[in-house]
Amino acid sequence: MNSTDLQTLMTDLGKRARAAARSLALAPSADKDKALRAAAQAIRIDTGLILEANAKDMAAGEAKGLSAAMLDRLMLNVARVEAMAKGLEDIARLPDPVGRSLAEWTRPNGMHIARVAVPLGVIGIIYESRPNVTADAAALCLKSGNATILRGGSESFHSSQAILTALKGGFTACGLPADAVQMVPTTDREAVGVMLRLADYIDVIVPRGGKSLVERVVAESRIPLFQHLEGICHTYVDKAADLDMAKAVVLNAKMRRTGVCGATETLLVDAACAKTHLKPLVSMLLDAGCEVRGDHLAQEADCRTLPASEADWSTEYLDAVISVKVVDGVAAAVEHINTYGSHHTEAIITEDAGAAQTFLNGCDSAIVLWNASTQFADGGEFGMGAEIGISTGKMHARGPVGVEQLCTFKYVVKGNGQTRPG
């Protein structure tokens, strides 16, 4: 497609989304929830069509030589389609985030001011191979009164289109606009560049995918982002840690799932307890099948430890690998984390409330935990319902981005003829 046609196509998408957003912003909660349940039903009914489309994507993916991990992310089956439908119903059950009064007060002149939650408007989602993002993201946006423009990966193009058709059917059957959710109808790579410049029609972009996708979006976007670059998460075992608790939490933080963003990538151990705590922790990890790359003390603690290089302190392994370092107390742990970390999630294990407070205040991260596993970094685990992602940025949303974070607010002022003096 030439660049003029692409610009026209994308601008048209944007205008339709903006018009749909105006109507969605005013949609009653009951209508939105009904539409989400209808979409869930439509997905169930379309299971055969969705799997047929997915088979096309899988065949093309195999022919292209996609890795086994990528093929697994791409693959749908009856259980995964049902999970998608159930996800929509779960989102329907969340409280409506729109219209909440976030604060209210009355001025001395009698004016009443309320800060009221309203939708952001139009959300652009740029994602890779997981076709279920199509349903999850569109549903979270709809629940929060936003229109969505989806740009899926070329690998999952047919699967996503089939899911989109089901969603649209459910939404329009309940009187919501067909343009509430749209998908960029081309796999042209240039379309992403055009999308990232549609600042008049898209209010926020959510890139969901690997580091190279996010880096491209960060570099090119003229639209604000909810971005998640990396999860270089730390667990610090303080001298006042209970060793049994430290072992249980560290093992879970690293090994429960090694591929999630909240997995601990670096273990920091207080020098003051290295003699008693370092060997049990390092050996436990090695025994559990984790590769350990450590400083010289960690290497001395267990000879299976490999030497860590400077690059290890800022590496997100997303695998059964951990870097281990002995630091000189809580202040040094905070300093290490703020220097090498990615401002995502950090935990301290200690029985000392003062040391905990120093750590919780000092780490410049979205989530800080005291005596709990970094693997809790998740909107669902926080009780926020489904999340569209975790933001490592500081603006607007930080940490899990759920339906409340997909809203902005307006000030609603009620008076009886007040004029401003002076």
Region from 29-37, 105-113, 272-280, 324-332 binding a copy of itself, contact rule CB under 8 A: 105-113
86 binds a copy of itself (CB under 8 A): no
Tokens encoding 129: 């191979």
365 binds a copy of itself (CB under 8 A): yes
249 binds a copy of itself (CB under 8 A): yes
105 binds a copy of itself (CB under 8 A): yes
Q: Report the nearest approach of a copy of itself to the CB of residue 219 (Å).
A: 8
Q: Report the nearest approach of a copy of itself to the CB of residue 154 (Å).
A: 28
Rounded Cα distance between 355 and 272, Å, is: 13
| Residues 12-51: x where in contact with a copy of itself by CB under 8 A, - otherwise, as a string | ----------x--xx-------------------------
What does each C-alpha distance from 210 to 70, 191, 230, 316 come to in angstroms? Answer: 11, 19, 9, 12
| Residue among 90, 107, 310, 403 that touches a copy of itself (CB under 8 A) | 107
Q: Report the nearest approach of a copy of itself to the CB of residue 199 (Å).
A: 9
Q: Report the nearest approach of a copy of itself to the CB of residue 23 (Å).
A: 10
* Amino acid present at 373: S
362 binds a copy of itself (CB under 8 A): yes
Rounded Cα distance between 142 and 155, Å, is: 25
What does each C-alpha distance from 234 to 252, 296, 340 come to in angstroms? Answer: 13, 19, 10
| Residues 309-348: x where in contact with a copy of itself by CB under 8 A, - otherwise, as a string | -----------------------------x----------
Q: Report the nearest approach of a copy of itself to the CB of residue 62 (Å).
A: 30
Q: Report the nearest approach of a copy of itself to the CB of residue 116 (Å).
A: 9
Rounded Cα distance between 420 and 285, Å, is: 67
Q: Residue 154: CB partners within 8 Å, gap ≥ 6?
A: 187
Contact 101, 116 (CB under 8 A): yes
Q: Residue 161: CB partners within 8 Å, gap ≥ 6?
A: 53, 183
| Residue among 14, 121, 153, 402 that touches a copy of itself (CB under 8 A) | 121
10 binds a copy of itself (CB under 8 A): no
Rounded Cα distance between 270 and 326, Å, is: 6
Rounded Cα distance between 61 and 155, Å, is: 6
Region from 156-164, 282-290, 307-315, 407-415 binding a copy of itself, contact rule CB under 8 A: 407-415
Rounded Cα distance between 212 and 217, Å, is: 9
418 binds a copy of itself (CB under 8 A): yes
Q: Residue 319: CB partners within 8 Å, gap ≥ 6?
A: 258, 259
* Amino acid present at 269: V
Q: Which of residues 147-206 bind a copy of itself (CB under 8 A)?
A: 203-204
Rounded Cα distance between 349 and 240, Å, is: 8
Q: Report the nearest approach of a copy of itself to the CB of residue 315 (Å).
A: 18
CA angle 391, 326, 328 (to 5 degrees): 95
Give me the sign of the Cα torsion angle 266, 272, 277, 282. Answer: positive
Q: Which residues contact a copy of itself by CB under 8 A? A: 22, 25-26, 105, 107, 111, 113, 120-121, 203-204, 224, 242, 245, 248-249, 251-253, 256, 338, 356, 360-362, 364-373, 375-376, 381-383, 393-396, 398-399, 408-420, 422
